[in-house]
Each structure stands twice: as structure tokens, then as C-alpha cells.
Amino acid sequence: MGEILDLVEARLRTALGEPDARADVTFLGTDRIEVLRFVDGDVVRYATLGMSAQPMADPTSPLADPVKGPRAELFLSVRMGLAATDEVLRPLAVLAASPQVEGLIVAPGASLDLGTPLWSGAPFSSVLVAEPGGLVEDLELDAPMDPVRFLPLLPMTHNEAAWKRVRGAQELQERWLSQGTDLRDPLRASVALD
């Protein structure tokens, strides 16, 4: 487990630079989850470290495979100085622990809802899990282990989350793109929806 996390942290450092802060959270019955903060100009990125230590298991399976199965870490990018976004550390750790706690498999297109704002005053309590491979490339592990995927999280307003449930992740992402939505704006309003 420690060796995998060392490789994951090395991949994050290669892609995002040196973290300027880190915090860790431990939930009863789970492994420790760390959240690293990386600053790049006016953008701050928060990345989890620890979710990939164990493969995610199908909640309907009677036995979890300790080696095979999807592995992932989460990251969120927002503009600095506009909101108290450092408060997102615990919510990100909660989302990263959800495969261990709730038996979820976190994959692109999924919605993750916290039920509370991501940070004080945030118009977002849920996120859309986006496709990996952009900012941080997948980390290949020795067979038979699956690679670690670095999944970007895109904050959604309540209206966007409801619209996504009906219309799907692809249509919401197309709407954001067509409207020129700045998904890194921690104070942004909901995109115009039909």
C-alpha cells in the first residue's frame, strides 16, 4: 500500500509541482486520506492521496479482491482568493473515503453529493467526476493491478446536479462548454439550463 501511494505522490508532484500544504483525515474503519494543495499562478489544486491504496470493489460482490479493481485519486481546481476554498480539504477526504465506507466505485460521469457546501458559502454541494488523463496521466501499476486514474472533480450547483440526473453528464458538460462556463470560479452561478 505504501509503495503505491509513494508512486501516486510522485506522479502528482511531476504533474502539479511541489505541494505547499497537506492535511490528513482518518475516518473510523478506513485508511488515512491525505489532501495535498498545489498552487499554480491564480489556481489552487487539491488532490487526494490514499484513495488508490485499495482497489474499489463492486458493492454487489460478496468478496472484495485485494489486488484487482479500479483505483483512483480525486483532484479539484479552483481560482484562488475568491472564497475559503481550503475548507474543501475535509469534503474531498470524505469523497475519497466513499469507496471504503459506502462501497462505491467512483468513475467518470458519476455525481458525488456531500449534502453540505464544499466550503463556506459555496453554491456547490456536489461534483461531477470528469474524464481522467488530462492534467495528470494515469499511473500504470504492475499486473494484475489496474492503473491509478486521476479523476478531476467539477463542482455542480443544485440545479446543475438535478439537470445532470435527467439529461446526463455529457449534456451538462456540453452546456458548460457552449456557455463558456468557468468551472474554476468558486463563486460562479448555475449555467443557464432549459
Rounded average pLDDT over 42-61 = 89
Across the beta sheet with 124-129, what order do the strands follow?
A: 21-25, 33-40, 43-49, 71-79, 148-157, 124-129, 111-113
Residue 25's pLDDT band (cuts 50, 70, 90): confident
For position 59, what pLDDT does the model report? Answer: 67
The residue that leads in pLDDT, 126 or 57, is 126
Q: How far is CA 176 from the centre of its chain?
A: 19
For position 171, what pLDDT does the model report? Answer: 94
How many CA within 13 A on the CB side of residue 52? 31
- The grid coordinates of residue 141 equal 501499476
pLDDT, tens digit, 9 for 90 and up, residues 69-113: 899 999 999 999 889 999 999 999 999 998 888 888 999 999 999
Q: Work out whether the CA dihedral 165, 169, 171, 173 comes out positive or negative.
A: positive
* Mean pLDDT score of the chain: 92
Q: How far is CA 62 from CA 28, 31, 93, in A?
A: 22, 21, 26
Residue written as grid cell 480525486: 74
For position 1, what pLDDT does the model report? Answer: 61
For position 178, what pLDDT does the model report? Answer: 95
Task: Indicate if the pLDDT at residue 50 is higher than 80.
Answer: yes
Task: Indicate if the pLDDT at residue 179 is higher than 70.
Answer: yes
SS3 177: helix
121 backbone φψ class: left, alpha, beta (φ>0; ψ -120 to 50): left
pTM value > 0.85 = yes
- The grid coordinates of residue 78 equal 479552483
What is the distance between the alpha carbons of residues 143 and 82, in angstroms, rounded to a whole number? 44
Q: Work out whether the CA dihedral 60, 156, 174, 129 comes out positive or negative.
A: negative
